[in-house]
Amino acid sequence: MVRSVPDWVLFKRMVGYITAQRKESLTLVLAIIVSSIINLIPPYLATLAIDSYIIGMDAEGLTVISAVLVVTYGLIFVSRYVQRFLISWLGAQLDRNMRQDIFSHLQRLSLTFYAKREVGSVVSRATNDIDKITELITSGVANVVADILTLVGIIIIMLSMNWWLSLITFSIIPLMIVFLYIWGRRVRRVYRETRKTIASVSAKMEESVSGMKEIQSFSKEGATRQEFRRINESNMQANVQAGQVMSAFWPAVSVFSAIGNFLVLWFGGNAVMEGTLSVGLLFGFMSYIGRFFMPIQDLSGFWNSVQSALAAAERVFDIMDTPRGISDKPGAEEMPRIDGRITYEDLSFRYEDDTPVLKDINLVIEPNTTVALVGPTGVGKTTMINLLYRFYDPKKGAVKVDGHDVREIQLASLRGQMAVVLQDNFLFSGSIMENIRYGNLGASDEEIIEVAKTVGAHDFIMKLPEGYETDVRERGGRLSVGQRQLISLARALMADPRILIMDEATSSIDAYTELIIQKALENVFRNRTSIIIAHRLSTVRNSDMIVVLRDGGIAEKGSHDELIEIDGLYKQLYEMQFKYDNEEVEEK
């Protein structure tokens, strides 16, 4: 639920993105002032032309006043050109800066934030909602400044021309203010709903496109279309409701404008017939009264944009104001070069649903050793890695690296010396070369090729149409699951980490390729602390220590041979898997 924030706070923050460009903002304000002042001159020139030259049959004076009018419109054109150019430029700057800010903050937020939100909803806030804010703060604010200056100028001129006719015109303003206040509150509610529903549409679209393989595999296209139709229908209804509210706005404003024109024409016309008001003055006054209601209509329309933009701003700043969750503590020290000793001390952890995941974990992993974490699904193996990486903080106890509590050191200096290869790997759009280089942006092509050979990826890469320059496409969709894992492994090794984590990293690779990788990794593991999470126990037999987890605690630990002799859980799991593998071979 988006929190409620006072309008003036939201508006001040939005305008702050424009005022940061001080030179351009001041130039824009100057252009608006000049344009607004010059734009008030033509009706006065028309009044002067009628009363002084047309009625007086002064052709020479009329020619001069006409030439002045042409020059005036030329100045209006130039000032408006400068104004529109600066509005476009400032809008582009605001759009860039606001998106950069929200993107930078998203990168700093903890995984807890992303566990609670849909990807499409977050993307919608960084795109659609920021577009609404940009639209308001650039053209909207510039126009409202021009409208206010124009309105003030017209009021001064009208009062100087005829004060009692002016007061008759101004008598309807209180009625308009009451109408705008009541109407604006309702508009804010309906526009907030439109921002929410379009975010839901974006989220469903994102989810469906990402999961298209699963949708088609289960033949759920119809059900998915029906679900999207429901969400899309809600968005349509929200927009229809907003349109319904808006449809009453312009007719109502036009009514007020019509009443104002009627009053001026009636009282002014009678004054002309009585000889107390000149024709030119009435003409000029009618011209100004038309211009008087135009800024009011624009300001009313601006109020509509304000409501839509404030609803969008609530959602954008809700993300920007979200606490980082996991961040460096004040005075956190930089992690020196890691030796690789990892200690879990009296560690307990639970997620927000209060279900215990780890309980009283005490474990020491010595430097330059290979340790395997095994056990049934859901016992906390990956959670132990998440705590080591400090994606989460423990509720009790501590995780230490070389005696340093990971909560007391700078995150970047810790994570920069570790690398992880996951079962469900993520590749970025771009070439294979770029994805491997992501582990070390300064690596040469030769170093990347050498690492690819180490993990057994070189041969399949060279068979691709463009070799290392082959575009893997979004999320690595051009490659098989096994190929993506090989690229991810090469990327991790490219970082030359002091601590390497393999989380089911070879689960989708065929036995032959896995054998090649295992031989290559013997050298890789020798010079760093390595942690392997695996269900396939044949891959962890040679580990220095195997830690068996059960019910969130450590059930057994030791080498493969030691655990077989214990005749405990590990032996049961190993024999069950060994039996299953043999049966599978016999069937083949």
* Cα–Cα nearest to 194, from 227, 237, 156: 237
> Residue 195: in which H helix or E strand, if any?
helix 173-210
Tokens of 478: 């051009």
Tokens of 284: 């000029």
> Residue 498: in which H helix or E strand, if any?
none
Q: Which residue is associated with the tokens 């690819």?
A: 452
Distance CA 219, CA 48 (A): 78
Q: Which amino acid is at 91?
A: G
| pLDDT attached to residue 578 | 64
Burial of 399 (0-12, 13-18, 19+ CB in 10 A): buried
| Strand duo 396-401 + 356-365: pairing | unpaired
Digit-by-digit pLDDT tens for the chain (588 residues) are: 444 566 777 777 877 777 777 787 788 888 888 888 888 888 888 877 777 777 778 788 888 888 888 888 888 888 888 888 888 888 888 888 888 888 888 877 777 777 677 677 777 777 778 888 887 777 677 778 888 888 888 888 878 877 887 788 777 778 777 776 777 666 767 777 776 787 777 777 777 766 665 676 666 778 888 888 888 888 888 888 777 776 766 677 777 777 777 877 787 788 778 777 777 777 777 777 777 777 776 766 676 677 777 777 877 888 888 777 778 888 888 999 999 899 999 998 887 666 778 888 899 999 999 999 988 888 888 889 889 988 888 888 999 999 999 999 998 888 888 888 877 677 888 888 988 888 888 888 899 898 888 877 888 889 888 888 988 877 777 787 778 878 888 888 888 889 988 887 666 666 666 666 676 676 677 788 989 887 777 778 888 899 999 888 899 899 888 888 888 888 888 887 765 554 443 444
| Strand duo 396-401 + 404-405: pairing | antiparallel
Spatial contact of 46 and 73, defined as CB atoms under 8 Å apart: no
pTM value > 0.75: no
How many C-beta atoms lie closer than 10 Å to residue 271's C-beta?
Answer: 18
Spatial contact of 36 and 146, defined as CB atoms under 8 Å apart: yes
Q: Which residue is associated with the tokens 């009283």?
A: 360
| pLDDT attached to residue 583 | 46
Spatial contact of 40 and 154, defined as CB atoms under 8 Å apart: yes
| pLDDT attached to residue 399 | 93
Q: Which amino acid is at 72?
A: T
Spatial contact of 151 and 99, defined as CB atoms under 8 Å apart: no
Distance CA 164, CA 162 (A): 6
Name 344's bridge partners. 363, 399
* 3-state DSSP assignment of residue 545: strand
Task: Dump strand ranges (E) for 311-367.
Answer: 342-350, 356-365
Spatial contact of 31 and 146, defined as CB atoms under 8 Å apart: no
| pLDDT attached to residue 343 | 94
How many C-beta atoms lie closer than 10 Å to residue 171's C-beta?
Answer: 12
Distance CA 105, CA 217 (A): 37
Query: Hey, what domains does the chain have and what are their CATH numbers?
Result: 98-320 (1.20.1560.10), 338-417+530-588 (3.40.50.300)
Distance CA 316, CA 131 (A): 11
Please count the residues of the chain: 588
* 3-state DSSP assignment of residue 501: strand
Q: Which amino acid is at 67?
A: A
| pLDDT attached to residue 1 | 40
Interacting residues of 211 by C-beta distance below 8 A, sequence separation 6+:
none
Q: Which amino acid is at 220?
A: K
| DSSP tag of 439 | T
Spatial contact of 46 and 284, defined as CB atoms under 8 Å apart: yes
Strand order in the sheet with 370-374: 418-421, 499-503, 529-533, 370-374, 545-550, 553-558
The 10 Å CB-count burial string (b at 16+, else e) for 409-440 is: bebebbbebbbbbbbebebeebbbbbbbbbbb
* Cα–Cα nearest to 489, from 535, 458, 529, 464: 458
Interacting residues of 528 by C-beta distance below 8 A, sequence separation 6+:
340, 368, 497, 498, 499, 500
In angstroms, the Cα distances linking 257 to 252, 293, 548 are: 9, 6, 80
| pLDDT attached to residue 404 | 92
Residue 368's Cα: distance from chain center in Å? 41
Spatial contact of 90 and 24, defined as CB atoms under 8 Å apart: yes
| pLDDT attached to residue 505 | 63
Distance CA 140, CA 286 (A): 27
Spatial contact of 319 and 116, defined as CB atoms under 8 Å apart: no
Distance CA 290, CA 158 (A): 12
| pLDDT attached to residue 2 | 44
Spatial contact of 153 and 36, defined as CB atoms under 8 Å apart: yes
| pLDDT attached to residue 363 | 92
| Strand duo 529-533 + 499-503: pairing | parallel
Distance CA 554, CA 358 (A): 9
Residue 302's Cα: distance from chain center in Å? 25
